[in-house]
Amino acid sequence: MAQTGKADHDSPAHAARQRRGAQAYHAGLSAEEAVLRRYLAAGYVDLEQRWRGPGGEIDLIFLAPENAGAEEIVFVEVKASKTHGRAADHLKPAQLTRLCASAEAYLGTREAGLLTPMRLDVALVDGTGVIEVLENILM
């Protein structure tokens, strides 16, 4: 039988890749849910989950608890892996650029626009579910 150049979608290797992909997807959703609960418990207001902007998806967007009456929007990128270090390694400069473009687009929907106080946090979730939040990573 002649080869067509297409991957064999019925192969065990393909099935294993699909399983790993599905596991990673569900682990990511679980990590996002855990981070969401942590921010809510700290008094943040959930504004958006998996918001899509021109640069891509922002995992979580919150309104920070009131401090001195200023509205602050908090964008959270969630990264999950076996260790916090490995999770941090998954955040690349190009992704940060895309996140900033999407955050800018989101701020354009707010009354104060780009003058809205904001910060970008990264929440690292390790294989045991421990969350480490790096606040305001752009500063």
| pLDDT > 50? residue 20 | yes
Between 58 and 7, the higher pLDDT residue: 58
pTM: 0.82
* The predicted structure's pLDDT at residue 104: 95
The structure tokens 């602050």 sit at 72
Q: What is the pLDDT of residues 84-106, one digit of tens each?
A: 999 999 999 999 999 999 999 99
Q: Provide the pLDDT for residue 28.
A: 65
Residue 126: Cβ-neighbour burial (10 angstroms; 0-12, 13-18, 19+):
middle
DSSP string, 64-111: PPPBTTB--EEEEEEEE-SSHHHHHHT--HHHHHHHHHHHHHHHTTST
CA-to-CA distance for 110 and 92, rounded, in angstroms?
27
Q: pLDDT at position 1, please?
A: 46
| pLDDT recorded at residue 10 | 74
* Sign for the pseudo-dihedral over CA of 30, 102, 99, 69: negative
Task: List, for residues 62-87, the tens digit of each pLDDT value.
Answer: 999 976 567 899 999 999 999 999 99
Question: Which amino acid type is present at position 84?
Answer: H
Q: Is the dihedral of CA 34, 38, 43, 44 positive or negative?
A: negative
Mean pLDDT of 19-25: 62
pLDDT at 127 over 80: yes
Cα–Cα distance, 32 to 138 (Å, whole number): 21
Q: Which residue has the higher pLDDT, 19 or 73?
A: 73
